[in-house]
Each structure stands twice: as structure tokens, then as C-alpha cells.
Amino acid sequence: MANLNFYVISCSANCENLDSRSLYVWGEMGAARWLPDSAREVKRRIEQCKIKTGCKKCNAEIHRITIQRKKPA
């Protein structure tokens, strides 16, 4: 079966609460909700987020994940 490689971003919005239960995990942009498939795209989305939200401090982290498909297409 296929292995799908994507990137996910996590942050705590302004570094206010570093409790893992309060972390935001995101990959969407606007109305589209897909995970980026390149580190370059992740960095672009983080820069757009910084401009949009204006957080005082950004603690976004990039995580590479692999999703294993088990069903045939």
C-alpha cells in the first residue's frame, strides 16, 4: 500500500500556554484543509500566519508525518 508523507504544524498561539493539551495542530489555510507536502509550503504558511495573527512570539514547530494507506485505491 501507499505511504503518504505530509507536514503538520503545532503551536500554542503566543506561547501563552505550553501545556500539550492546549496546542493548536493545523495544516489548513483558509477554507482549504489539506496538509502541506513540502517543508517550503509549511514555512510559507507559518509566515502567513505570523502576518495574520500578529503573535508576539511564535513557537510553531514543523512535524513530518507518514500516513500508511491500508485500503486499495
Q: Are strands 24-26 and 61-68 parallel, antiparallel or unpaired?
A: unpaired
Query: Is the model more confident about 73 or about 66?
Result: 66
pLDDT at 73: 66
pTM of the predicted model, to two decimals? 0.72
Measure the CA–CA gap between 53 and 13, rounded to whole angstroms. Answer: 9
Q: b or e along 37-60 (b: 16 or more beta carbons within 10 Å of the residue's beta carbon)?
A: eeeeebeebbeebeeeeebeebeb
Confidence label for 40 from pLDDT (cuts 50, 70 and 90):
very high
Average pLDDT on 35-42 reads: 89
pLDDT at 11: 86
Confidence label for 17 from pLDDT (cuts 50, 70 and 90):
low
